[in-house]
Structure 1
Amino acid sequence: MILSWRKKRAARRAAKKQNLEVTSNMELTIPSHFRCPISLELMKDPVTLSTGITYDRDSIEKWIEAGNSICPVTNQVLRSFEPVPNHTLRMMIQDWCVEKRSYGIERIPTPRIPISSYEVSEILSGIQTAKDQQDAERCREMVLKIKELAKDSERNKRCISANGTGGVLAAAFKTFSKVPFEQNVALLEEILSALITISPLDGEAKSYLGSDSSLHCMVWFLKNGNLSGRRNSVLALIEIVSSDQQKIDELLEIGGAIEALVKLMKEPISPSTTKASLLLMYHIVSNPPSSANSKVIARLTEMELVKILFEMLVDCEKSICEKALGVLDEVCSYDEGMEKAYGNALTVPVLVKKLLRISDLATQFSVSILWKLCKNDKSEGGDVLVEALQLGAFQKLLLLLQVGSTDGTKEKTTELMKLMNVYRDRAECTDSLDFKNLKRSY
């Protein structure tokens, strides 16, 4: 009996396999009313416009975001830009997918309903009430809710950002960051994370974040926060200082701010944090030359910033390389920065290696730094020029002139080659492109 049952089961499986092979060779036709008129693909989230035509949500939203105000099919002006979910058609499409599963068609999941402006307003009202009542726990619940909704889809994020969420969250951050704020650390971390999620921020949000209490709180996170807290603080500070240079001076007056930033570069926690730290540092060092900025550069060089950057440049990705070279270019505009660069064994080898190797921007910064160092080289034998020649800088600079560059870079390249030409008969020119024989300074 058992043997007979096994034979029947094997026969059923063989028949099923044969049917699958037959159906796989047959052409599957998707019903026309299941296709989006724009993408011509099976709709996953069908929505109907005010004109009565149904589209896939993703396709029609891209159409509207591109600035179109008419229905693609009827050319009628849209009375409303809010598409209505077509649940009946969606369920028909799902049933069809289940019916055709033998063709390898998977059932489309039921889409989540996007958040509306009214729902955003309700949540923001809850955050404002909790802020006024100093109810940190309730405020945190609302912030977590809006952060999750923003992460759910790009459409949600756009809707949340467009309804003044940045200003409300930043105002709450300012209120709860007033000393002592240690008891509100969990809430402040969530607000900062939510703000970064919906960035870029508007002027109102930046104004609240640029307050004295908010800046002190973010510096505290830079020094004592967890990994995400430190990363989000750097990103928020970039938003602030990029639109208001005066905030840089206020930031630098806060004890431990610049030390914490340098530590993030010396002991990196993630590539995104390193990029953000370098970008914030660039805003700091690229201030117009002044006695105050000279003191900042002196502090940074004392903290071995030049050494940290060159060691970072030995092996890093393109974006980090460009930002690190940008910071070095600004630092080497000051005597303190050049002095540290002269004393670092990696300086010339790294700069020559980056020429024509990473990107146009990296080459531009490398030429600028080399030009500053060679032009101000006070050694009797032109040590920097000779070392650059020995590493093949002259050939690279010559090639750079041939392939083209910006006017400023071209002028610096020409001047560099004139300076190097004096030592060409005394220096062996080799085209070295690696660090095989280079001893690092650490």
Structure 2
Amino acid sequence: MSVISQLVYSLPKENSQRMGLSLRVRRRGGNKKEIIPVTSCSEETEITIPSQFLCPISYELMKDPVIIASGITYDRENIEKWIESGYQTCPVTNTVLSSLEQIPNHTIRRMIQGWCGSSLGGGIERIPTPRVPVTSHQVTEICGKLLAATRRGDHAVCSEMVGKLKRLGKESERNRKCVKENGAGLVLCVCFDAFSKNAKASQLLEETVSVLTWMFPIGSEGQSKLTSTSSFTRLVELLRNGDQNAAFLVKELLELNVAHVHALTKINGVEEAFLKLINRDTICVNSLVSIHHMILANQETISRFLELDLVNITVEMLVDSENSVCEKALMVLNAICETNEGREKVRRNELVIPVLVKKILKITEKKSLVSVMWKICKSGDGSEVEQALRLGAFKKLVVMLQVGCGEGTKEKVTELLKMMNKVMKMNGFVDRSDSSSIEFKHVKKPF
């Protein structure tokens, strides 16, 4: 709760008539208007909102007025935040609430709606009638019907119940929280597993996956259902069709338990499915994270990914992708460089060193970038070090040390600088890249 809000709670009620009531309305198009702060614009008209229409917490026009046990009316969103912060008192009267139940104030809501459309309200667009939040009983009832229909194999009823849960979640964050807290996650996992072998249940499974994306973390029982052979096979099929929700779901499962990674790598065609998602205009970051987990957990997958040209795809991704994508791509390259085969494949790509040098000072998280450069320079024939030098890597790496980095990264940077210094001495090479003079106070001598 902000300091301002707490101060507002302590103000006498009559002060509300002197605070935040002067507003102006501006035409948005046609006859519709919106409320904005008071300005000097000549096209705006000043209006005054009746104090009884203002929430005592936010002093804004109430969209969903509700009465609490003290008899005071608040906007539902504001009083819920107050209660969720741990308070069990009325913000205005400071009395302890005998019940935390919130009852819609239909009278005030109708008065606000009427005022909005009247001349006194300046023709402000009517606030849509809010939906009543879902209750635990309603969620439990829906989940019960979904579970029973799943056991019967009733595809139609399952689709109807999953659709209801999805609509509830779209209405409000409160609804999502209520759905999640009342066991919907496990029931959805059971449903997905039960229909995973049904070729005609594609629409149901896609809808189930979309709802499951806001159910994490799920318990071990739900995980076991989603990671069965049939469920994983169906998730891979969804990946192959470009389903971003399935990509998120798989990534979350892999991060929960390494055993899930081993189970996924046994599914035929999983590598192709992930590559299809990252080799497109809109790169799926979740798929990059999943590929990273797979390579780290099972190095046999590196060979399969290398055959599918993962190195070239990932390096091209680094050229002009946004920071977050580049960082995940570098994590994948770093994992690939754990094997001799992987390092050799990375070294063969002519873009690797230029891209790495270009990104040294542009990437926020530099650990993977430095690790990739260190691995290919240390295991190479020296040409990679010389190329990095000619591209201005030396001074950029020194800047990295001055700015600061992790201990492990610092050691690799220092070793890279020593390798570069050795090449400069042997070949009489001078780094002529544009840069201001740099103090090498963090670098171990000699240079």
Q: Same fold (TM over 0.5)?
A: yes
Does the aligned pair in 2 maintain the 1:150–1:198 contact within 8 Å? Answer: no
The residue number in structure 1 matching 2:291 is 281
The residue number in structure 1 matching 2:371 is 368
The residue number in structure 2 matching 1:29 is 48
Distance 1:27 1:89 in 2: 23
- Equivalent residue of 1:270, what SS? coil
Distance 2:140 2:395 in 1: 63
The answer to whether 1:194 aligns with 2:211 is: yes
The answer to whether 1:356 aligns with 2:366 is: no
Q: Size of the alignment, in residue pairs?
A: 394
The residue number in structure 2 matching 1:207 is 224
Distance 1:232 1:155 in 2: 21
Distance 1:158 1:303 in 2: 41
The residue number in structure 2 matching 1:347 is 352
1:105-124 aligned within 5 A: 105-124=124-143
Does the aligned pair in 1 maintain the 2:136–2:182 contact within 8 Å? Answer: yes
- Equivalent residue of 1:182, what SS? coil
Counterpart AA for 1:275:
V
1:21-420 aligned within 5 A: 27-100=46-119, 103=122, 105-177=124-196, 179=197, 181-223=198-240, 225=241, 227=242, 230-266=243-279, 268=280, 270-271=282-283, 274-287=284-297, 293-359=298-364, 361=365, 363-377=366-380, 379=381, 382-420=382-420
Does the aligned pair in 2 maintain the 1:97–1:107 contact within 8 Å? Answer: yes
Return closer, same or farther for 1:22/1:401 CA change in 2, 3 Å cut-off.
closer
Distance 2:214 2:434 in 1: 45
The residue number in structure 2 matching 1:7 is none
The residue number in structure 2 matching 1:439 is none
Distance 1:280 1:76 in 2: 52
Distance 1:371 1:423 in 2: 15
Note the C-alpha offset of 1:25. Answer: 7.3
Deviation per CA, 1:85-131: give whole Å up to 9, x if none: 11111111122222246646332221122212121112111111211
Please list every run of 5 or more consecutive structure 2 residues that lacks an aligned counterpart in the other structure.
Answer: 1-39, 436-447
- Equivalent residue of 2:412, what SS? helix
Counterpart AA for 1:342:
R
- Give the TM-score of the pair, scaled to structure 2: 0.83
Does the aligned pair in 2 maintain the 1:348–1:384 contact within 8 Å? Answer: yes
Does the aligned pair in 2 maintain the 1:174–1:213 contact within 8 Å? Answer: yes
Deviation per CA, 1:282-321: give whole Å up to 9, x if none: 221233xxxxx33222222222111110011111112111
Note the C-alpha offset of 1:23. Answer: 11
Distance 1:57 1:333 in 2: 54
Distance 1:72 1:376 in 2: 67
Counterpart AA for 1:220:
E
Please list every run of 5 or more consecutive structure 1 residues that lacks an aligned counterpart in the other structure.
Answer: 1-20, 288-292, 434-442
Does the aligned pair in 1 maintain the 2:237–2:273 contact within 8 Å? Answer: no
**Identity of aligned pairs, percent?**
45
Distance 1:264 1:101 in 2: 55
Return closer, same or farther for 1:67/1:345 CA change in 2, 3 Å cut-off.
farther
Return closer, same or farther for 1:25/1:143 CA change in 2, 3 Å cut-off.
closer
Aligned-residue Cα RMSD (Å) equals 2.3
Counterpart AA for 1:213:
S
Return closer, same or farther for 1:78/1:375 CA change in 2, 3 Å cut-off.
farther
The residue number in structure 2 matching 1:438 is none
Counterpart AA for 2:212:
L
Return closer, same or farther for 1:43/1:392 CA change in 2, 3 Å cut-off.
same
Note the C-alpha offset of 1:350. Answer: 0.9
Return closer, same or farther for 1:107/1:235 CA change in 2, 3 Å cut-off.
same
Does the aligned pair in 1 maintain the 2:116–2:122 contact within 8 Å? Answer: no
- Equivalent residue of 1:286, what SS? helix
Distance 1:24 1:351 in 2: 55
Distance 1:109 1:221 in 2: 37
Return closer, same or farther for 1:101/1:109 CA change in 2, 3 Å cut-off.
farther
Deviation per CA, 1:367-402: give whole Å up to 9, x if none: 11111111222x1xx111111111111111111111
Per residue, is there more helix in 1 or in 2? 1
